[in-house]
Amino acid sequence: MVDVRRVKLPGVGVLHTFVTDDGGKVGVIAHRSGHSDLITFSDDEDGADVTKVSLRLSEDEAHTLAELLGGTQITESLTALDQIPGLSIDWFTVDYDDHIAGQQLGTPGERGIVGLTVVAVVRGESANPAPAPDFKVFPGDTLVVAGSPEKVAKAFAFFRSGELPARAAQSADAPPGG
């Protein structure tokens, strides 16, 4: 079985890589926008003479290539997760001028965003899953959030400016039927 390494690329998507039996390195960058990059590459120790190739594929082209190569159950499972109605999982990379930089995370509900969860904060090479409200956020951190697309957008606006966008309707945070 091939050992596939998966690396999250905050703000971009996910990089999957593996080494072939003959030493070649292959990767796929699955962008959040839907397109994918099929790449071959080398580490620095491989020398400067190694050819590097990158091929951009649309979502349909990537699915076609996967089918031709014998698509995996993992890919199908991730696609199914992305298609759960009303669920958005996204990454927010904190910049120096963002409101949340240098602040405690708090809880989304206390900040006026009911129905959103901060799943983890990624700092450097380590993840801090289910961070406590007193977790201090720094520039360069990446916040992984889950909620409806509207709640995620609202949280991102708050993280940037410290202000919540004006509500289009008063019932935006009300429970269904309320």
User: Average pLDDT, stretch 128-136?
Assistant: 90
For 141, list phi and psi in degrees, rounded to 5.
Answer: -70, 155
| pLDDT at residue 21 greater than cutoff 70 | yes
**91 near 146, Cβ under 8 Å?**
no
> What does the pLDDT read at residue 74?
45
Q: What is the pLDDT of residues 75-126, one digit of tens each?
A: 445 455 556 677 777 888 899 999 999 999 998 888 888 888 898 898 887 8
pLDDT band at 50 (very low <50, low <70, confident <90, very high): low
Indicate the pLDDT class of residue 133, thresholds 50, 70 and 90: very high
pLDDT at 5: 83
Bridge partners of 104, per DSSP, are 136
What pLDDT was estimated at residue 55?
73
pLDDT band for position 70 (cuts 50, 70, 90)? low
Give yes or no for a contact between 27 and 15, defined as CB atoms under 8 angstroms apart.
yes
Mean pLDDT check: name the lowest of 12-21, 47-56, 88-97: 47-56
pTM equals: 0.51
Contact predicate 108/116, CB 8 Å: yes
Asked whether residue 17 carries a pLDDT value surpassing 70, the answer given is: yes
d(CA 14, CA 28): 8
